[in-house]
Chain A
């Protein structure tokens, strides 16, 4: 088998693989920057919580309209935003911290979703929502993902300074104005990207493409901008590598993609140029000043 046969040909020959690759590349482009922001805000686990929260909405959409991209997306979006806003409100208005209120609301939402799915659907349906159907992406799903990534990138371009300032010093922005808007905008972007991703990778796996490249990027770059670039490239690379792995080793696609991202994360922890384990071992000598 020539390298072309192994690395390129499958994506040329098989339409469904081409779609899967395009979908995952789009997904990585939008969700990697969001993941980096979640990491620096110390909200890494909030992505996970939100992904669980999206489930009941998607399930309700599925019950009403079957496997309809629009219905499941709108349902997921509604449920995700409801949890984000409720958790944010409780955190602002009471003494409970945001992580705890997120945990509370997403668990309620998740239980609701499981209840709905088990009352009305079969387990196969639940698996679709949980693990996605990356090898069967239809046009509406691809358009949806592309739109969400476009919205994300435009929002980041317009509000970048606001989002960074609010991530770094929320108290300052609360006094100067714009804090609440930035907070809601950011959580909306998180939910949007998770909803866009669950068609491809499922509500559980989609968080992996958001968080693993972002966590790995810390070991490659000091500044936020380069962390975002690194995470995006890593997310795209993992998508490609994961699809190849799934094809050649005959493994399920979405976990293969996330495991590829996981392998990159592990390699970064060990060998990354910025304060990785190896790096700390090698650079033990100190400078003169």
Chain B
């Protein structure tokens, strides 16, 4: 019997370039079940929290209550933005009794409930944490011919910020560990937690293009064949904005796609055809 988790996909999971396909293929191979959180809502991201803190907290509280209804105090997600918003909501709920009460009244209307003790114990984890910390090592480390890709890890800004709860907030190593577990070469560089520009890429394309160019250039300095990411917005910005400047193309893959390649899963099961910057050997 394998591991089973309550999974909060978030709104960008479906449109992400092969995230769902590859996550499902890899999870099958390592006997992890991701059970989708029923009736989930958007986390609110930076938008809702910017305009109305109480509404942002409500969205996080509702997700926590939905998880509670499934008998779980743990939510797994593959999006830095969702994880960050959930953790922010949790923190504010614990700080502010008034907000907590407001939220509980509103939850009642949906026949949901949230115990203050439960929100305290709620764990919000990235799928990458599950892969590195929970999945038995032998699943990843099997003897098999390895692709010769040199892989640059890219976390984006939010992975372990602001509190360094998951990993070091400036120099995390979880993704490096994972790439090594897969038996692939890790490319060191200094752009791992530089910000991709997030949703500013629509209103402020030129400004964000500068950030992305710096990241791509930094990664390419040490001859990476591809970069691997853990967040749909990072993937979208790094993948799509490369067309704005003149650097050699750098494929931006989800860590789940890299895992699939490292494990020798059928390439067709990894959604690589959805990338804008194609992976040549695929």
Chains A and B form a bound pair: no
- B contact residues vs A (CB 8 Å cutoff): none
- A contact residues vs B (CB 8 Å cutoff): none
